[in-house]
A and B are shown apart, each in its own frame.
Chain A
Amino acid sequence: MEKFTRLTGVAAPLFRANIDTDAIIPSREMKRVSKEGLGEGMFADWRYSDVAARVENPDFVLNRQPYRKAPILMGGPNFGCGSSREHAVWALQDYGVRCVIAPSFGAIFQGNCVRNGILPLVLPEPSIVALVEQADPQILTIDLAAQTVRTPDGTELPFTIPPADKEMLLEGLDAIGVTLKRLPTIQSFEGAYRARHPWLFF
């Protein structure tokens, strides 16, 4: 997995509440058993005025300069709610998004981000609104190790992140590999667990 350490880039404002994973990647855009090429379908219903012909909607923020290919999105509360489809995160990743800033996230989406090298960054809603209003375009520098978001005028906003998520992102860890190191612990748990709950085993 690609590591996330520091990132400086344009932050595109997409400040709507409850942006769900169906909106991030509509079902019909998940065409193959593959992660590749999903970026084209990202936000398809908002991004294209004619989805089938891929005619761009000029009003959509990511179709305007300098927001095209913005590596940072600034969203509203409950970002990534809805379906568990990891394709939403793969689509963002394929498009080039590395960080989503929002007041809160859908739980499954948040976990999927961390497992794919995208930083789900929580800031209070007023801070995000201020960032959006302060500059157009807003350019942000995100330092994961220091847990700060910096604006060009030097203002620093601290953020919190669960330590395990931070480590996974900073190190670009393979979660299965990390857990398999604990296989002996899992096996000894399993033995005792099976003795207590034999009906759960076939």
Chain B
Amino acid sequence: MGRSLIEKLWERHRVADLGDGTDLLYIDRVLLHERTGSMALKGLKEQGRAVRHPDRAFVCMDHIVDTFPGRGDETTMPGGTAFIRETREAATEAGIRIFDIGDNRQGIVHVVSPEQGIALPGATLVCPDSHTCTQGGLGALAWGIGSTEAAHALATQTLVVKRPRTMRVWFDGALPAGVGAKDMILHLIASHGAGGGSGYAIEFAGPAVEALSVEARMTLCNMAVEFAAWTGLVAPDAKTIDWVKGRPFAPAGDLWEQAVADWQSLTSDADAVFDKEIRVDCADIAPTVTWGTSPQHAVPVTGQVPDPAGIADPVAAQAQRRALDYMGLAPGDSLIGLPIDGAFIGSCTNSRLSDLRAAAAILKGRKVAKGVRAICVPGSMQVKAAAEAEGLHLLFQEAGFEWRESGCSMCFFAGGEHFGKGERVVTSTNRNFENRQGPGTRSHLASPVTVAASAIAGHIADPRRLGEA
């Protein structure tokens, strides 16, 4: 019987079988950020333990740093400075590299790690952050852990992990115009529930996935965790190898040749058996927007808010009623036309260069509607520089978007900046939970092009129907 890529990567990293479906796995890369990494480093220090391979650990300052021009260690988040300074101090002491404020490589950890060639195809990579699965887009086995586990990975270069079940999600056919990776993953979660991937490592495959750019594959994998999956990945191909080539921490010379030879073998066997298979016909996917407070509360942008009365499961029905109440919506409301107060393009889901290009193409020659606060936060300072080199920042700024320094920013509310209570925001981020973007803020998840189109319209809008009412 053939093996899946997930099984192959698992086996090559297995240090010991601990019985009962649990293995000790070798970890190639550990990434940290100031929010949770500080706790991991502090924990280790308190126990008097050393970091075993500091050269394979990296720290990004991203979560609570300000994204205003001219920023320093001071933050709008109360107490944020202490996180930044304590993390810097602990990482320096441990000999771990930092992509710090002021460094032109700083940015959101999941954007920086592939961009710098730290995440590589076939490598295991962990970070105390749930969206670590983003790096699965390169064919890495990457997953989020807690701070205690991060300390374990730093001290031992291994983790004790229960073998996940395997799932393949096959995206068949081709994506319609105006539909992208964000719509694919929202559509999947809406169809199978936010718990649909629970216990699984998922391989995203099929012609539509092959056709995606490497960056779009990262968007797809980013939200595997919103599907409750342990992680998600896409088998590396020629596009991936091309994308990784020449990145600062990627192998070079002879090592590059050896790496490529290995990466070319990283696919699931034709007769590999998965514990579960899901097929999605891409012709069915439309630009998708969430209406509620779970990523599963998503419908085509042309759709309506569903009626909880139609739901058999009482728990799900109750959750929907709460969501309607929080979002200030009623069953049957159309999404198109819902007036918005804010538009946000950023986060580890959709803040890479290709996302900014796609949004800028819509903004070009247009203006953000009156009363809408629109913000773009590039995922890294490298993305920002690349965007500026093409003049994208001008398109954003001329349209009326704020153009920020990179970081997590208003993807989540840390006590600093937010959109405000009851404000309705269309956002390219990944979580629409209650209060995620600020106390009482109502978040509608969507693709960057849908966010851009909505910002122009002043209400939720279909990116395929630009300029229409």
Contacts and interface: CB of A to CB of B under 8 A. Distances in A.
Interface of A: 15-18, 20, 22-23, 26-28, 30-33, 35, 45, 51, 76-78, 81-87, 89, 104, 106-108, 111-112, 115-116, 125, 162-164, 175-176, 179-180, 182-183, 185-186, 189-190, 193, 196-202
Interface string B180-212: 000000000000001100110000000000000
B31 to A, nearest CB: 12
Most chain A beta-carbon contacts within 10 A, residue among B21, B258, B436? B436
B174 interface: no
A163 B195 contact: no
A15 B22 contact: no
B413 interface: yes
A16 B322 contact: yes
A12 B346 CA distance: 39
A21 B246 CA distance: 38
B148 interface: yes
A108 B120 CA distance: 23
B412 A17 contact: no
Given A175-B152, A198-B258, 13 more contacts: A17-B318, A23-B433, A28-B415, A78-B228, A81-B195, A83-B412, A85-B36, A108-B144, A115-B148, A164-B18, A179-B158, A186-B158, A190-B157
Given A85-B36, A86-B147, A179-B156, A23 B315 contact: no
Contact of A17 (B251, B258, B316): B316
A84 to B, nearest CB: 4
Given A33-B83, A108-B130, A112-B148, A78 B433 contact: no
Interface stretch (B74-82, B365-373, B456-464): B74-82
B315 A22 contact: no
Interface of B: 12-13, 15-16, 18-22, 24, 26, 28, 35-36, 38-39, 42, 47, 49, 55-56, 77-79, 82-83, 86-87, 120, 122-123, 128-130, 132, 144-149, 151-152, 155-158, 160, 162, 194-195, 198-199, 228, 230, 249, 251, 255-256, 258-259, 262, 294, 315-316, 318-319, 322, 412-415, 431, 433-436, 439
In the A-B complex, the 6 residue pairs with the closest CB atoms: A28-B415, A199-B251, A86-B146, A112-B146, A199-B259, A199-B255
A86 B36 contact: yes
A26 B255 contact: no
B16 A182 contact: yes
Nearest to A199: B251
A88 to B, nearest CB: 9
Contacts of A182: 15-16, 24
A32 B87 CA distance: 12
A162 to B, nearest CB: 6
Contact of A197 (B24, B129, B199, B262): B262
Contacts of A197: 12, 122, 262
A164 B22 contact: yes
B13 to A, nearest CB: 8
B56 A202 contact: yes
Contacts of A112: 146, 148-149
A179 B147 CA distance: 17
Nearest to A89: B146
B363 to A, nearest CB: 30
A199 B122 CA distance: 11
B228 A22 contact: no
B298 to A, nearest CB: 14
Contacts of A189: 15-16, 26
A54 B176 CA distance: 50
B414 A28 contact: yes
B433 A82 contact: yes
B78 A31 contact: yes
9 contacts: A22-B436, A28-B78, A45-B435, A84-B128, A164-B160, A176-B156, A190-B157, A197-B122, A199-B255
Most chain B beta-carbon contacts within 10 A, residue among A22, A108, A125? A108
A107 B228 contact: yes
A28 B13 CA distance: 37
Contacts of A15: 315
Nearest to B127: A84
B58 to A, nearest CB: 11
A180 B156 contact: yes
A45 B129 CA distance: 22
A108 B249 CA distance: 28
A33 B414 contact: no
Nearest to A125: B315
Contacts of B79: 31-32
A175 B160 contact: yes
Nearest to B13: A193
Given A84-B128, A107-B228, A189-B15, A16 B318 contact: yes
A78 B433 CA distance: 14
Contacts of A162: 20-22, 162
A87 B35 CA distance: 10
Contacts of B39: 33, 35, 86
Contact of A107 (B13, B155, B198): B198
B294 to A, nearest CB: 5
Contacts of B145: 84, 108, 111
Contacts of B55: 202
Contacts of A76: 315
Contact of B194 (A18, A27, A125, A185): A18
Contact of B148 (A20, A26, A82, A86): A86
B395 to A, nearest CB: 31
